[in-house]
Chain A
Amino acid sequence: MNALRLTAPTLLAICIIVVVIAGEAIVFTSSHNDYSSDIAAEGGSIGYVINGKGTHEYDAISLSGGLDRPKAVAVYYDPAYASDYEKVSVAVGGRALDQQYYVQQMGPTLQLRDIGNVVVCDAAGLKDFISANGKDSAVICLSGALPDTVYDGTSGSPIIEWVSAGGRLYWAGNVIGAEISTKGGLVPVKDGTSLFLGTECVDASDAKAYGSVKGDGLSDALSLLNNDLRYGVVTGSLPSDRQHLELGYTDGERSSISIVGLGDGMVCIVAGDYSNFQRIDLAQIVASGISPSTELVDAEHGKVSGTVRGSLEAGDHVYICIGGDFAVFGKLHGVGSE
């Protein structure tokens, strides 16, 4: 048998194998830790420094009225309990985007935005989570119905009390509050949405938005992607005493993201049926600490290759995001806490 002889095909084969192995090493040694950011007070402004591998776009966003990075994040998922969300089409060859896969992806989607403390809770675990974690913690619910362990269709439900005390509830995939999830099925709740938003102001009809929310430029700076409005909040119908913020895309009536105050806490509705854009927006909102009273103070867009420094007008938080619409890094900095 022939030993290895350097012919044209053997040389090409060796090159291909080397390239494949090199590419594999590049793909699997790339890490969240390849990027970092920091801020420092500089008189009346905030100085920032961003380090990045390769060359990327970045956004540095100074916010007022923002929240600190959540100390703990729970993603609710319990296959033993009924859920209610629409099946969606995915790209040919893609894995079905069901609740399990969505929940599975939330961890890494948040991780790249510096939220590493994510736990997946079942119905009992969710009750324990909101008992153990108060203000500065977040719950993400994608099941389309809250479980009967935390929601009984009354204003005294543990989840509503928890939000009112300062918790942050992030919701996607159905009309909030309209059903209770049990092991035996779904129980409809009359006027359940009002318990969270003060009125029945969620529109479940299909619609897409074709324009960004106008105003402060926050949506652009956050690179929000999802334009599906289904289950979105008709913010014009909200009670006047409810502080709220709209982000993303809008048709003038509903927005792809609505953040509504409830007591000391907030409910964030990310509209639409399941999608990857929705997941990315959801993670961006959780990680950036946006609250109903958040305002954009200053923003800078630029290019980072190695290290870049800049300064922003001072707010109470600075959110740094690398990658633009193809985000590779995000980190929220509290101005007083750095």
Chain B
Amino acid sequence: MISYGPRFLTKWMLLIILIGVVIRLVLGFLLTYNYDVYHWALTISNFEAGNGLYDTAGYYYTPVWGYFLGVFTQFTELFGLDSLGDRFAELLFTEDDVCITPHTAFVTSLGFNIGITVLITIFDILTAFMVHWIVREVFKDDRKAMICAAIWMLCPLVIVVGAIGGMFDVMSAFLLLLCVALLMKEQELLAGMILSTAVMLKFFPGFLVFLLIAYIIVKHRDDWKPRMAKAVLGAGVMLAIIMVPQVMDGTIMDSLSFMTARASSEGEGISLDSIMMMLSYVAILVGEVILALLYVKVKHDDDDRAFIGYLLFGSLIIFIFPSAPQYLLMLAPFLVIHACCSDRRIWVPLILLMVFTSLFDLSSLPMEMTSVLMYTDWLPMDAWMPIYDAFASKMFGITTFDAIDELCFIMQSVAVIIAIAMIAYRVLLEGTEEGRFIRERLPRSPKGA
């Protein structure tokens, strides 16, 4: 990294990083979606009280983000942050407005909000670095590497998810890119360890495991088995390290609730929504296996460049079913790289996804102002209430809060489908190796039929 640093940290890149950091810090200070960030504070208080991550409710993800919060507390202690937040009676009424994006009268402190923003911003920068590294490694183009990293740093969706939403999805993107980079550098053991970390952060990168296996096979057709063994060993060791506490204290099922209970408002795994979600997971897995087989079977001029395209397609099909906008950050780096380096037409879904989908954060705008509202004198309650009322008012039976969310869901789904359609069109009809391979195997209509 020391030798690579100067290539990444040019004066232009430093300027872009500086602009990106300032935007994030300002937004993170002024606006915070407290519902999620409150849960990070609750998670911290739970484990600081000696109750680990899952003994008492509050943390609903696999363990890795909780571990990062563990390290985070060492810095909040260093800076003497005493108050994580408070529950304000003045905001209790907001909890009665049941919205797609829930509200809470718990307001996290400005210091805590900034701390979370800084933590996620560090990963935004690291992801920009990984995007730069992969473009340089695969496409051998410094200029495009710089452009891709700059787009990442200034991408609206990346900024709002981390700085306002306080969500850690950028870490999924970073860990996935790191895993890919490690495979490219033939460090399978570490790649396996990082993949386990990524899956135990949020499970979406796990869907791409088949493609990652395929990459090892394609790049090392003669000795892929021992390399695979190393990757599996690394993944297993890291999984064990991450899950040991949950196995020991009997909370392993709680630690996996993110995967089993996401579709049910009552948290029960066996609802119709949950069944549909599980079925969609199966469909995605089948798609990923087919994609991996295709990557192994088809000969490519450049396996690495092709692999980036496959990772994009593999990520897109994970999100073909509408999901929370922040999840899209996992596929965003591949979309950026593909648009800059392979197919300019991908700019259309890229802009739809990365710019317009970011408007989802507007759906909770009044609630995002509550930290400033309650902890400073800058925004009087009298000035805030009309904003809240405007968002809570209904038009055609739906509040502005929900209307913005619904609009963003639609936009996001359209963008994912457009991206998939564009890539499928290119693959099948524009003379790619994959297109030829598929066409040769499609059943042909008899002549004259």
The residues of A with any CB-CB pair to B shorter than 8 Å are 1-2, 4-5, 7-14, 16-17, 19-28, 30-34, 53-57, 87-97, 101, 105, 108-109, 111-112, 208-212, 223, 225, 227, 249, 276, 279, 303-305, 323-329
Contact = CB atoms under 8 A, between A and B. Distances in A.
Interface in B49-85: 49-53, 55-58, 60-61, 63-64, 66-71, 73-74, 76-77, 80-85
A6 to B, nearest CB: 8
B334 interface: no
Contacts of A14: 190
A326 B42 contact: yes
A57 B242 CA distance: 31
Interface string B353-364: 000000000000
A86 to B, nearest CB: 11
A94 to B, nearest CB: 5
Contact of B227 (A1, A12, A24, A210): A1
Given A211-B89, A326-B85, A112 B50 contact: yes
Contact of B186 (A1, A30, A90, A327): A1
Interface in B163-205: 175, 178, 181-182, 184-187, 190-191, 193-194, 197
A87 B271 CA distance: 14
B148 to A, nearest CB: 16
Given A10-B187, A22-B70, A327 B60 contact: no
A24 B67 contact: yes
Given A12-B126, A56-B82, A105-B56, A329 B70 contact: no
B49 to A, nearest CB: 4
Nearest to B65: A23
Given A53-B48, A95-B267, A225-B87, A26 B70 contact: yes
Nearest to B57: A276
B71 A93 contact: no
B261 A24 contact: no
Nearest to A329: B49
A94 B57 contact: yes
B144 interface: no
Nearest to B60: A93
A27 B70 contact: yes
Q: Is the interface of B mostly helix, strand, loop or mixed?
A: helix
Contacts of B380: none
Contacts of B257: 93-95
A57 B82 contact: yes
B64 A30 contact: no
B307 interface: no
Contact of B86 (A10, A109, A325): A325
B189 to A, nearest CB: 8
B254 interface: yes
Contacts of B45: 323, 326-328
Given A55-B76, A326-B41, 5 more contacts: A19-B71, A26-B67, A97-B57, A326-B44, A326-B45
B226 A9 contact: no
A231 B223 CA distance: 68
Contacts of B93: 210
A227 to B, nearest CB: 5
Given A2-B185, A94-B57, A22 B71 contact: yes
Interface of B: 1, 4, 39, 41-42, 44-45, 47-53, 55-58, 60-61, 63-64, 66-71, 73-74, 76-77, 80-87, 89, 92-93, 95-96, 102, 106, 126, 129-130, 133, 175, 178, 181-182, 184-187, 190-191, 193-194, 197, 223, 226-227, 230, 238, 241-242, 245, 254, 257-258, 261-262, 264-268
B26 to A, nearest CB: 26
Closest 5 CB pairs of A and B: A23-B67, A326-B45, A23-B70, A93-B60, A26-B70
A19 B81 CA distance: 21
A325 B4 contact: no
A270 B262 CA distance: 29
A192 B229 CA distance: 67
18 contacts: A7-B4, A13-B194, A16-B194, A19-B71, A20-B67, A20-B242, A22-B71, A23-B67, A30-B50, A34-B50, A54-B48, A55-B80, A56-B82, A95-B254, A96-B261, A112-B49, A323-B49, A324-B86
Given A1-B227, A212-B89, A13 B190 contact: yes
Nearest to A303: B82
Contact of B178 (A12, A87, A323): A12
A22 B185 CA distance: 26
A27 B52 contact: yes
Contact of B89 (A17, A249, A279): A249
Contact of B63 (A19, A24, A249, A303): A24
Contacts of B77: 53-55
Most buried by B among A33, A54, A109: A54
B82 A9 contact: no
A219 B365 CA distance: 31
A21 B86 CA distance: 30
A108 B56 contact: yes
Contacts of A57: 82-83
A28 B68 CA distance: 13
A3 to B, nearest CB: 9
